[in-house]
Chain A
Amino acid sequence: MKKKNPVFNFFSSVKLALFTLCLLAFTSIIGTIIPQKESIDWYIHNYSEITARIFQVLSIPDMYNSWWFLGLLTLLSINLIVCSIDRFPGVWKQVKADNLATDLKRLSKMRLTSSWVSNKSEEELATDISNRLAGKGWKTEQRRRDDSLLLFSQKGAITRTGVYIVHASILVIFIGAIIGELYGFKASVMLPETQATSTAFETGTGKSIDLGFTVRCDRFDIEFYDSGMPKAYRSKLTVTENGKVTQVKNIVVNDPLTYNGITFYQSSYQGYQDFLLTITDQKTEKSQTITLPFQQQQTLNDNSRIGVINAEAMGQSISRMKIWFKDDQGPASTFWINAGDQVTVERPGKKYTIAGKQVYATGLQIARDPGVWVVYIGCGLMILGLTVAFFMSHRRIWVLIAKENNETTVLITGSANKNKTGFETSFDALSKELEADTSNGKQ
């Protein structure tokens, strides 16, 4: 065995892996107990001046992005890489091994063996046994070894690489996370109804980010269950690029809108004191939407006037509003509208549809993460690797056929690197069947 340098040995050791994993597990607890990403004043207020300073020095307020936590993750990655470089070639050798060149003396000493004699010729037996094995999914190869014939068959040689698939998957996930960190962003915006924006504000830094297109919130609605629990938060978003509407979608929590790789998630809302009213003349189908504050009158394009004179609220959200409306004919109409509903208002000689609701701003999370698919591929690899590493084994069977005097002896032996008891059962059944089919006394 070649001598390795001590640095390489250190980074390839499992001890280091265990040590790093223990440290990661232990230090991760800190951030679940001490609230993260609060302001320095918050820590001073809730702990003490000194404690807050210590926190700051150790980056505790943002520990999962701190130099030392990222350092531990880097150490784990280096450990994974070096350990795999160290061990993988050996495992690959086993996968690619020429099992027909194996030491024949070793075969009879293996734990699972069975042998019997037959009066058929070597070649006849070899063909017979390999056909029978093939019928059970064991494809055989054979080679003449000295004065005997060796058959070999294996299943799942590649499953030996399962552990390395898991290790690689962790690195792939890290790469995906780094891509997201470098080329993606997380931002948010509070967008009042009917308003549009082409910039978002980065989470944490507050830096403004140019989206490259415009997104408008046409409408925001909250639906409630009878119990008063919220049932759905819904924003109707319209995307405009170069003056053209390119996408319209109603988004709800768990169903975002994606445009040009940027995704908009429904995340919060804010209720305003203002009202959003839509007045439609039913004959001309001319429609006008206005935003107006409580108890203020506004004149519309056709010179009619409208205002909200009363409202009922449930917490922050207005449940119904009383409208005052007057066109050029007759006295004013007053009526109630349930939030989000519309009513028909009959005026002398005219009919209007009037819809009203409170003005909301929708809170959107905005994210671009080009690394997310890399992360998902890593996750898929991890599940694949774990399944292979834990539940699939490399099973091998050798059959040695040797001529001795007038008889031919058959020696069958096998091994598995995992689930040994399961393999033993199937090996016993297989060898008994082969023996029954090919030994003397059976034609």
Chain B
Amino acid sequence: MDSSQLLGITTFTYMFSTFLYATIFIFKAKKLGSAATVFTVIAFLIQTSGIIFRWKESYALGYGHAPLTNMYESVVFFAWTIIAMYLLIEWKFKTRVIGTFAVPFAFLAMAYGSFSTGINKEISPLIPALQSNWLLAHVITCFVGYAAFAVAAGLGAMYLIKNMSESRKTTNEDSILGTLPPLKVIDDITHKTMVFGFLWLSVGIITGAIWANSAWGTYWSWDPKETWSLITWFIYAITLHARYTRGWGGTRIAWLAIFGFVSVVFTYYGVNFLLSGLHSYGSS
């Protein structure tokens, strides 16, 4: 077994997990609940070992480094953190339906990494700029934040769907959406997930600034990646203030969770391909 096989299997297991959660949601097949969880946990463990193997393989190649240094490795890690975040939420809030809205993100990330032609999957050595102890701290903290925002966006979508049908009065205990948690609960979890993501995004920006200062002598240079991470930070700061001080909730916060995640995706992905800057090594 090598890492590419394990990560290949992961893509398919996440697809199957998505399918299981969707089945629970659509067909109200509650009996499948623990099967979906067990299966996702197994998929998660396969992916974890895939990442560890890849780490080891890089050492065997003579230029050992954590597998967090190019687009492929980052989407794999992104998927991993989304699943970790989701499993944590499932365990903490005892609800499985969220899986339908969160696990697909992990599957899509893995599928993009595996099948996109523009992505280099080889383990390559570190260029001088990336040879720093800050690499691990910076990438991990950013991606914990990104994963939380992905899950929050999934929850936001879930809120909007349920809300739409409730306002049309089509929801009752027997309909599909009846299995979703009450709106108040979704709203609460969305908020908590965003708060969690906001803390980690802040730490991610700060570790990035410290790293930039130790490599180039400036902690902030308004490069597009930095600027977009700040824009994302502003968006979530606005969202949190709107909630705390102006009592925003429900639909508006759900939309902001989705809108914020669009900004996250642009920060993470769009900047590398559409704009130029210091983070360009993330694009190959």
Are A and B bound to each other?
yes
Question: Chain B residue with minimal CB distance to A15?
Answer: B246
Determine if B209 and A25 form an interchain contact, defined as CB atoms under 8 angstroms apart.
no
Interface residues of A in 381-400 (CB under 8 A from B): 382-383, 386-387, 390
Determine if A230 and B128 form an interchain contact, defined as CB atoms under 8 angstroms apart.
yes
Determine if B238 and A21 form an interchain contact, defined as CB atoms under 8 angstroms apart.
yes
Given A14-B241, A225-B125, A386-B202, 6 more A-B residue pairs with CB atoms under 8 Å apart are A28-B230, A32-B275, A64-B222, A229-B124, A256-B214, A369-B217
Determine if B235 and A254 form an interchain contact, defined as CB atoms under 8 angstroms apart.
no
CB of B218 within 8 Å of the partner chain: yes
Determine if B231 and A29 form an interchain contact, defined as CB atoms under 8 angstroms apart.
yes
**Candidate in A28, A33, A256 with the most chain B CB atoms within 10 angstroms:** A28
- Taken together as a complex, chains A and B put the C-alpha atoms of A226 and B230 apart, in Å, by 38
Q: Please, how many residues of chain B have a CB less than 8 angstroms from a CB on the other chain?
A: 42
- Taken together as a complex, chains A and B put the C-alpha atoms of A232 and B127 apart, in Å, by 7
CB of A343 within 8 Å of the partner chain: no
Question: Chain A residue with minimal CB distance to B196?
Answer: A390
Given contacts A18-B238, A18-B241, A64-B222, contact A231 B128 (CB under 8 A): yes
The 8 Å CB contact of B128, one of A25, A254, A375, A383, is A254
Determine if B128 and A265 form an interchain contact, defined as CB atoms under 8 angstroms apart.
no
- Taken together as a complex, chains A and B put the C-alpha atoms of A194 and B125 apart, in Å, by 31
Given contacts A379-B209, A383-B202, contact A28 B127 (CB under 8 A): no
> Hey, which chain A residues are within 8 Å of B224, CB to CB?
32
User: Would you give the shortest CB distance from A325 to chain B, in whole angstroms?
Assistant: 34
- Taken together as a complex, chains A and B put the C-alpha atoms of A31 and B214 apart, in Å, by 24
CB of A186 within 8 Å of the partner chain: yes
Determine if B217 and A263 form an interchain contact, defined as CB atoms under 8 angstroms apart.
yes
Question: Chain A residue with minimal CB distance to B232?
Answer: A25
Question: Chain A residue with minimal CB distance to B126?
Answer: A231
A-B interface pairs (CB < 8 A), number: 104
Determine if A25 and B235 form an interchain contact, defined as CB atoms under 8 angstroms apart.
yes
- Taken together as a complex, chains A and B put the C-alpha atoms of A199 and B131 apart, in Å, by 29
User: Would you give the shortest CB distance from B46 to chain A, in whole angstroms?
Assistant: 30
CB of B215 within 8 Å of the partner chain: yes
Given contacts A230-B128, A379-B209, A383-B202, contact A32 B218 (CB under 8 A): no
**Candidate in B213, B217, B218, B219 with the most chain A CB atoms within 10 angstroms:** B217
CB of A129 within 8 Å of the partner chain: no
Give per-residue flags for A368-380: 1 if the beta carbon is below 8 A from chain B beta carbons, else 0.
0100100110010
Determine if B202 and A231 form an interchain contact, defined as CB atoms under 8 angstroms apart.
no
CB of A252 within 8 Å of the partner chain: yes
Determine if A387 and B215 form an interchain contact, defined as CB atoms under 8 angstroms apart.
no
Question: Chain B residue with minimal CB distance to A33?
Answer: B275
The 8 Å CB contact of A254, one of B209, B214, B227, B228, is B214
Determine if A367 and B231 form an interchain contact, defined as CB atoms under 8 angstroms apart.
no
User: Would you give the shortest CB distance from A159 to chain B, in whole angstroms?
Assistant: 15
CB of B38 within 8 Å of the partner chain: no
- Taken together as a complex, chains A and B put the C-alpha atoms of A26 and B212 apart, in Å, by 24
Determine if A390 and B199 form an interchain contact, defined as CB atoms under 8 angstroms apart.
yes
Determine if B241 and A383 form an interchain contact, defined as CB atoms under 8 angstroms apart.
no
Determine if B199 and A387 form an interchain contact, defined as CB atoms under 8 angstroms apart.
yes
> Hey, which chain B residues are within 8 Å of A434, CB to CB?
none
The 8 Å CB contact of B271, one of A17, A32, A229, A366, is A32
CB of B161 within 8 Å of the partner chain: no
CB of A227 within 8 Å of the partner chain: yes
Determine if B237 and A253 form an interchain contact, defined as CB atoms under 8 angstroms apart.
no
CB of A290 within 8 Å of the partner chain: no
Question: Chain A residue with minimal CB distance to B203?
Answer: A383
Determine if B227 and A31 form an interchain contact, defined as CB atoms under 8 angstroms apart.
yes
Determine if A254 and B63 form an interchain contact, defined as CB atoms under 8 angstroms apart.
no
> Hey, which chain B residues are within 8 Å of A379, CB to CB?
206, 209-210
Interface residues of B in 252-284 (CB under 8 A from A): 271, 275-276
> Hey, which chain A residues are within 8 Å of B237, CB to CB?
21
**Candidate in B128, B224, B231 with the most chain A CB atoms within 10 angstroms:** B128
Give per-residue flags for B215-251: 1 if the beta carbon is below 8 A from chain A beta carbons, else 0.
1111110101001101100110110011001100000
CB of A153 within 8 Å of the partner chain: no
User: Would you give the shortest CB distance from B28 to chain A, in whole angstroms?
Assistant: 27
- Taken together as a complex, chains A and B put the C-alpha atoms of A382 and B210 apart, in Å, by 14
Question: Chain A residue with minimal CB distance to B207?
Answer: A379
- Taken together as a complex, chains A and B put the C-alpha atoms of A177 and B221 apart, in Å, by 12
Interface residues of A in 218-240 (CB under 8 A from B): 225, 227, 229-233
Given contacts A31-B222, A365-B217, contact A22 B127 (CB under 8 A): no
CB of A85 within 8 Å of the partner chain: no
CB of B198 within 8 Å of the partner chain: yes
- Taken together as a complex, chains A and B put the C-alpha atoms of A255 and B215 apart, in Å, by 7
CB of A40 within 8 Å of the partner chain: no
CB of B165 within 8 Å of the partner chain: no
> Hey, which chain A residues are within 8 Å of B216, CB to CB?
265, 267, 365
CB of B88 within 8 Å of the partner chain: no
- Taken together as a complex, chains A and B put the C-alpha atoms of A355 and B275 apart, in Å, by 44
Question: Chain A residue with minimal CB distance to B234?
Answer: A25
CB of B175 within 8 Å of the partner chain: no
CB of A36 within 8 Å of the partner chain: yes
User: Would you give the shortest CB distance from A301 to chain B, in whole angstroms?
Assistant: 37
Question: Chain A residue with minimal CB distance to B242?
Answer: A18
> Hey, which chain A residues are within 8 Å of B228, CB to CB?
32
User: Would you give the shortest CB distance from B1 to chain A, in whole angstroms?
Assistant: 25
Question: Chain A residue with minimal CB distance to B214?
Answer: A254
CB of A134 within 8 Å of the partner chain: no
Given contacts A256-B217, A387-B199, contact A22 B238 (CB under 8 A): yes
Determine if B231 and A372 form an interchain contact, defined as CB atoms under 8 angstroms apart.
no
The 19 sampled A-B contact pairs (Cβ below 8 Å) are A14-B241, A17-B241, A22-B234, A24-B234, A25-B231, A25-B235, A31-B222, A31-B227, A35-B276, A177-B220, A229-B127, A253-B128, A254-B129, A256-B217, A265-B217, A376-B210, A382-B206, A390-B195, A390-B198
User: Would you give the shortest CB distance from B131 to chain A, in whole angstroms?
Assistant: 6
